[in-house]
Amino acid sequence: MLRLPICFLLLALGWTAAGCRPHPNGGPPSAEEVTVALPEREERVEYDEFTARLDAAETVEIRPRVSGYLTEVRFTAGQQVNKGDVLFVINPRPKETALRHAEADLARARVAAEVAQREATRGSQLLTNNTLSSEEADTRQWKSKDTAAAVQAAEAAATSARIELDYCQVKSPITGRIGRALVTAGNNVSGVDGFTTLLAIVVSIDPIHAYADVDEASFLKFQALDRAGKLSKTEDGRIAVDMGLEDSKDRPFHGRIEHFDNRVDPATGSILLRAEFPNADGRLLPGLFARVRVPGSAREQVLLIPEVAVMTEQSLKFVYTVNASNIVEKHVVSLGGAAGTRRIIHSGLQPTDRVVINGLQRIMMPGMPVKPIDPPKSTAEPSSR
């Protein structure tokens, strides 16, 4: 009498293990419903994504070249400045006085040189007429050359004084964005080499550079694709890359790879990548974090399935499929990159495999019978299992 209930219990457990449920009218058990879909085929490029730090292409410390009192600051913090704009003015009056003194010395030297040249010319004529000794004629020639050299020295001194006067206007050497003034008007600044005063910092904005550490495996894969000519390039022969900031899900910035570093860091096993991005609107600032996407494959046909269909078993990734007899099968797959809510499949699936994309929680084990149904027309990619 006790064996009959046990048999019924075992039979019920068998139905449950097989993925069947009792018929509501007491008939044979019905198979669980699962939603299935064929993998999609698309021509795509796979990408590797790396965290990057933005930095200016040019960073210049503004320092004076002459010493003196600062009289003017001609910019506001954060202003866009152009190459050649006057940023600071150092009191020019001492330099103007020095220039006038140098110009006066130059005029005096030119007069002396002109007189010496005339005497040398007359000495040559008198020597020809035997009315002047050769020693006196030579002395006049040497004096002429000496005064000519004095003119050159005076010209150099005047030029130096003119340059120092020009340096009283501290100009921006690049086009970019300037920070705050580190020294205000009225302070004495030093232009002595090795002791110059830091006045401000200007950074270029357009273009801007992104630096990322690329792991060795990704770098070698990229090199192989590049040597094989399988990567699309811009008009100037560079590899195109995309970039997004931390506040955006997409990658609205498009640039190019400028270069990889010339060595792999043995401590990290990575190599430094520098990419260049146009930044005419100034949205990208040095120091920001970003996500740079680098091509990791040639453009080719790939299979894609919804991300929710991918299951994990320890280190393995697998999906459930339904065969022609409506029996569940398990396929270990090799995954590629993400494509929105879908995932690229490198191996483990065929285009004709019906992949379970919904109802995965109802599958107890491979080999159980199920009732496959197609996904609703309005839901191409389910958001949950």
**Which domain CATH number covers 143?**
2.40.50.100
**Global pTM?**
0.67
Confidence of residue 119 (pLDDT cuts 50, 70, 90): confident
Tokens found for residue 2: 């006790």
In sequence order, the β-bridge partners of residue 60 are 202
Final residue in a domain of this structure, among 203, 223, 248: 203
Residues 54 and 68 occupy one common structural domain: no
Output phi, psi for 157, to 5 deg: -65, -40
- Backbone φ and ψ for 204, nearest 5 degrees, come out as -75, 150
Give the residue, 117 or 88, on which the prediction is more confident.
Answer: 88
What backbone torsions phi and psi does residue 312 show, to the nearest 5 degrees?
-125, 135
**pLDDT band at residue 252 using 50, 70 and 90 as cut-offs:** confident
Identify whether residues 67 and 194 lie together within a single domain: yes
Q: Do 179 and 314 share a domain, yes or no?
A: no
Q: Is 129 within a domain? A: yes
190 and 260 part of one domain? no
Specify whether 316 is located in the same domain as 253. no
Would the pLDDT of 180 be above 90? yes
Residue 345 is predicted with a pLDDT of 85
Q: At which residue do the structure tokens 């495999």 appear?
A: 353
In a domain, 213, yes or no: yes
Burial 172-186 (b: 16+ CB within 10 A, else e): bebbbbbeebebeee
Of 166, 186, 203, which residue sits at a domain end? Answer: 203
The domain total for the chain is 3
In a domain, 149, yes or no: yes
The residue-averaged pLDDT of 115-138 equals: 79
Query: 262 — phi, psi (to 5°)?
Result: -90, 10
Q: Which three-class secondary structure state does DSSP give residue 377?
A: coil
Residues 127 and 194 in one domain: yes
Residues 198 and 226 sit within 8 Å (Cβ to Cβ): no
Helix ranges (DSSP H) in 129-215: 134-166
- Beta-carbon contacts of 379 under 8 Å, excluding residues fewer than 6 positions away, are none
Are 83 and 154 members of one domain?
A: yes
In terms of domains, do 92 and 215 share one? no
Domain membership flag for residue 80:
yes
Distance CA 291, CA 49 (A): 6
Question: Tokens representing 85?
Answer: 């704009």
Quick one: pLDDT at residue 22? 55
Q: Are residues 53 and 131 in the same domain?
A: no
Same domain, 220 and 96: no
Q: For residue 236, what are the domain limits?
A: 47-58+207-295
Q: Strands 30-37 and 370-373: what pairing?
A: parallel
Q: Which of 249, 277, 295 is the last residue of a domain?
A: 295
Q: What digits encode the pLDDT tens for the residues 355-375?
A: 888 888 888 888 889 888 888
